[in-house]
Structures are given as structure tokens and as C-alpha cells.
Structure 1
Amino acid sequence: MSSSTMVVSMWVPPLRHPRLLLPLLVLLLAEVAPVHGGYGKPSLLRVGFYKHSCPDAEAIVREVVGQAVGDDQTVTAPLLRLHFHDCFVRGCDASVLLNSTQTNTAEKNAKPNHTLDAFDVIDAIKEKLENKCPRTVSCADILAIAARDAVSLATKVVTKGEWRKDGNLYEVETGRRDGLVSSTKEAAAHLPDSFDGIQKLISRFASKGLGLKDLAVLSGAHALGNSHCPSLEKRLRNFTAQYDTDPTLDAAYGATLRQQCGKPEDNETELAMVPGSSTTFDATYYSLVAEKKGLFHSDEALLSNGATRMLVYGYIRSEKRFFGDFGVSMVNMGRVAVLTGRQGEIRTRCAVVN
């Protein structure tokens, strides 16, 4: 999801009787939700892939992520975002981690990825895993596990032991292998943009085998992290010939953001995706969207489609439902165009091919 720290609008008034449309919503989601995840192909991944080859793999990832979060709670958003940005370009193959070379400009250097962070955490995990189980655990799987651990550690009901006994929001399927190609042009073309409208978002997600429910649920990742002024400047000034400010943005909130972003090119000022709660993973994001206070145009776009709008209001009513659906959609996304078996390789260093 493209933003300055995390991814992924036309205002539609809240429905007075949303429950009346639930049967229609079920039909809509049944038509668009992928059966097997990415590209509609059955997943060759499985929970516990490293049970015998590297039994401590997930524990090692959790240990390093836990230490990083202990040092800096804001690291959860970048770790989650790395997995998103990886899966939306060439599938979940760790191509986002590769460095550019003299003959190739990699995904890292694409404009939407200039603000990616937490590469050092992934490198630290990889180093420990290589020492424990050489050439066994892929960088792509590290990204998937680290994202799960980061969001789990940011979810209060999980850390309090009220969700799962193992302290995880959901289980991660593993067995991915690492890709050999990384292209800045592909990243620029495929990553969702903060200014995308609903049809563009639907198209981008559909191209990965992800449906409307996945779109609405995964947008909830914006519960974590911060962004910067360039990611919403178009919403604040000279939006169109008719509107100076994006009409899907609450006027008072827009005025506040314009004050904070006095200079459109300001990359220093941090804007919380969820003011006052940017390090806690919960459903507060959806309440902001309903109030026209989503930071991005793409956030408010969720209200301009019947199915995604119903999900927004559904998650406001039931945070537990959101948590459960988020895990399902993360698994769906984690299956997108994966390399398995003898495809790709297991990198010994995540930033370079072997």
C-alpha cells in the first residue's frame, strides 16, 4: 500500500439501516473474493513449512521483531508495509529487498518505495537464521512472518492474551522462495497509490487475485504508521478546477492538515494515519474513514462502493470481525504469485541474489 510509512474517494452518506443490505453484501463478496488467494491458484504454501528444516525459524523472527518494537514502537508499520509492497510487485518473492545494480534499477528506487524502512530489521533476522539454518529460510517468508509479528505486537487484544494463546493475530503460511528480478518500473506501475479512486483500487487488487473484501480489510493496515505532506498535497490545494480541496475530506480536518503542511514538498512533518493511535492496531481507522478523516483519497474511496462501504461500517461495529478478516486477507495476499519448490532461490543475503 503506497504511503509514506504504510498502503493503499468519494463521500457517500452513512446508511441508516445497513443491516438491510447485508444479504446483498454477502452476494457481492462471494462474487469477488478469490477462492485460493493470489491469481486464483491453489496455494502451495503451508503453516509450519520449517517445522523440520528449521524448527526455530518463526521464534527467531519473533525475537528480533520483538526487540525492534521494544526499541521503537513505530517500526511495526514499516515491517507491515514491506510485505505489502513486496507482494504487489512480482508477487511475494522479496524482490522489494534487492538493491539496484549497475545494470538494473530495483524496486527500492521507485518513488512509492523511497520511504520504505526497517530493512535493517530484516537483515538482522536473516543473519540469525543463516547462522542457525543456512540457506533454508527465504527472505520472502521472513517478510511475511515479520509483518504478522509486527501487527500482532501492535494489537492490544493479542498482547493481552485475549486473542490467541500463541500471541499471534493469525497463522502465516510459509514455503516461499526468493525471486531474482526487481524492477523500479514494475513497482511504479503496480503499487496502489494514495490518490487512487475506487475503480483503480479494485483493478489493482483484482490483478493480484484479491477481491473487494481484501481491499477493504487490507486498507485497515493504515491503522498503523505515519505519512508525509507530499502523499496528500493534491487533496489540500488545487484538487480540481471545481474544488480547491478534495470534497471527500472533512473541511475542518483539511484545514488542520493545510496548516501542518505549509510547504507541499515537506518530507519532515509526520502525519499520523490515525491521530493519537498510530502505533496501535485496531479498527479506529474505519471510524475516521466514515467521518471523512481518512488521510488519503484512497481511504475515502472505500465509501464509494456498496460492498466496501458496508465493510467499513461493519468493522466499526465489530473490531473482532475486523481482526479475523484481516488475518484471512493477509494470507490471501501472501499467496500472490509465490515461488515454490525449485523456483527462484533461497538468498543468503536479502539485498542481493546469490
Structure 2
Amino acid sequence: MPKCGAVSTFCCGTQVPTNLCQYQFYNVELGRRDGKVSTKANVQHHLPHPEFNLDQLNSMFSTNGLSQSDMIALSGAHTIGFSHCNRFSSGIYKFSPINRIDPTLNSQYALQLRQMCPLKVDPRIAINMYHVTPQKFDNQYFKNVVQGRGLFTSDQVLFTDARSKATVNLFASNEGAFQSAFIAAITKLGRVGVKTGNQGEIRIDCTRPN
């Protein structure tokens, strides 16, 4: 039986929820070796922030060989899952000195978010990323963003910035195009930083280095 590292196991794990959420199967490339160092500090600077603008998003993804279209397709994963209120509260309470609420947001949606996440809310409170089809991996994320219902600033900017708007419109109107782009992008993401030869290890316990 071939050995499978924790990274490969994790990659397979990303496929399971998408299948359970009525999304098509895709082939996951296996055989990745695991790193010998794993810390929170190493991860924090490699994840996009909810308040990123398009230039910041493109810069982060391009360092890993991912295009703007790849980044937009991967953002579509926000169609399922949840977020804690503090991850997007700045967009509905303190966006800028002039506008408390992000003016690119649908005003009714912003008020709904305020009702679900009032000021000084329990930090453990979380809400669904999107409420139309929260358990289905579809293109509803893009439809919501077109309507000004992007939960994160980094979501809504994909539509408000003219450089990415056309791709959002495409994915919102053509679910097949989104699915194909997502599979291609997540496959490319799975190839980032692959260790070869004697690099890394195959963990005995997925939760920690050997």
C-alpha cells in the first residue's frame, strides 16, 4: 500500500465536503510529503486577509504561481462554510471615517449582518458565509457578490474592481465555467511547495511532525 502524508490526506479532505455539498468529483493528486515544521506564525502571512483589496489578493496568489482567475475561482469556496463576526465587522461598523458601512455593500444586507453580529458580540458567534444555499457548493457566492452581498471586503472587491468584474459575472452566470476553473485552480494550489526526494517526511501522526 502506498504511503500517504498528512498533506495528501488534507487535500483529499477538501474533496469530501465539496462532494457532500453536491459538487462534482475531481482527481486529487497524492504523494505529497509533509513539512518538519508547522506553526501558526508560518501560516498567518500566507493566508489572504478579509480586508484585502484586489492588488493585495493578486500579489499573494501570484507568489504561488496562481493567476487572478485562479484566485477568483478559489474565492468561490466561500459559498459554503461560516465566519466569525470579527472577521468582517469592520465592513459594517467602521469601514472608514466617512462611511461606517462599506458603501459597496447592499444596504439591506449590511443591516442583516448588523442584526446577526451586533457590536461587542460574543467572539465565538459565527454565521454562514452565505444563506441562500449554505450547504451546496455552487456559484451562489458569485451571484451574491454581484448583488452587493459579499461578506468580506475581499469578496466584494472582486466585483467592484473593474479588472476582476468580468470574471465574477462569468462565474455568476455560468456554473460550469466556475466548476472547471475551480478544479483547475485547486489542483494548481495543491502543487505549491511540493517537497521531493529527502525533503520533509511522511508523518506517523498527522497532527505533529515525527
Superposition TM-score, scaled by structure 1 size: 0.57
1:307 positional shift: 4.3
| 1:296 aligned residue | 152
Q: For 2:164, which of 308, 314, 332 is the aligned residue?
A: 308
Q: For 2:74, which of 195, 218, 223 is the aligned residue?
A: 218
Larger Rg: 1
CA contact (8 A) 2:49 2:154 kept: yes
1:229 positional shift: 1.0
The letter for the 1-side match of 2:5 is: S
The letter for the 1-side match of 2:115 is: Q
Per-residue Cα deviation, 1:65-96 (whole angstroms, up to 9, x for no partner): xxxxxxxxxxxxxxxxxxxxxxxxxxxxxxxx
> How many residues were matched structurally?
210
Alpha-carbon distance in structure 2 between the residues aligned to 1:281 and 1:344: 33
- 1:204 has 2:60 as partner: yes
| 1:175 aligned residue | 31
| 1:147 aligned residue | 14
Q: How does 1:259-278 map to 2 (within 5 A)?
A: 259-278=115-134
Runs of 4+ in 1 over 6 A off after TM superposition: none
CA contact (8 A) 1:229 1:264 kept: no
Stretches of structure 2 lacking an aligned partner (at least 5 in a row): none
Alpha-carbon distance in structure 2 between the residues aligned to 1:264 and 1:223: 26
- 1:241 has 2:97 as partner: yes
CA contact (8 A) 2:104 2:160 kept: no
Alpha-carbon distance in structure 2 between the residues aligned to 1:236 and 1:304: 17
| 2:4 aligned residue | 137
CA contact (8 A) 1:233 1:264 kept: no
| 1:332 aligned residue | 188
- 1:343 has 2:210 as partner: no
| CA 200–264 in structure 1, closer or farther in 2 if over 3 Å, else same | farther
The letter for the 1-side match of 2:21 is: A
3-state SS of paired residue (1:227): strand
The letter for the 1-side match of 2:8 is: D
CA RMSD of aligned residues (A): 1.5
| 1:120 aligned residue | none
3-state SS of paired residue (2:45): helix
Per-residue Cα deviation, 1:183-235 (whole angstroms, up to 9, x for no partner): 33232222111111111111111111111011110000001111121011101
Alpha-carbon distance in structure 2 between the residues aligned to 1:353 and 1:225: 28
3-state SS of paired residue (1:174): coil
Q: How does 1:17-96 map to 2 (within 5 A)?
A: 53-54=1-2
Alpha-carbon distance in structure 2 between the residues aligned to 1:229 and 1:173: 35
Percent identity over paired residues: 32
| CA 265–191 in structure 1, closer or farther in 2 if over 3 Å, else same | farther
1:265 positional shift: 4.3
Q: For 2:143, which of 277, 282, 287 is the aligned residue?
A: 287
The letter for the 1-side match of 2:113 is: L
CA contact (8 A) 2:38 2:208 kept: no
Alpha-carbon distance in structure 1 between the residues aligned to 2:182 and 2:146: 19
The letter for the 2-side match of 1:153 is: L
| 1:102 aligned residue | none
Alpha-carbon distance in structure 1 between the residues aligned to 2:124 and 2:72: 29
Alpha-carbon distance in structure 1 between the residues aligned to 2:43 and 2:121: 22
CA contact (8 A) 1:302 1:309 kept: yes
CA contact (8 A) 1:230 1:266 kept: no
| CA 155–234 in structure 1, closer or farther in 2 if over 3 Å, else same | same
Per-residue Cα deviation, 1:221-270 (whole angstroms, up to 9, x for no partner): 00111112101110111211111111121111111111111134433433
3-state SS of paired residue (1:285): helix
CA contact (8 A) 1:151 1:281 kept: yes
Per-residue Cα deviation, 1:84-113 (whole angstroms, up to 9, x for no partner): xxxxxxxxxxxxxxxxxxxxxxxxxxxxxx
Superposition TM-score, scaled by structure 2 size: 0.94
The letter for the 2-side match of 1:151 is: T
Alpha-carbon distance in structure 2 between the residues aligned to 1:307 and 1:149: 33
Per-residue Cα deviation, 1:148-207 (whole angstroms, up to 9, x for no partner): 122122125x3xxxxxxxxx1x11111210000123323222211111111111111111
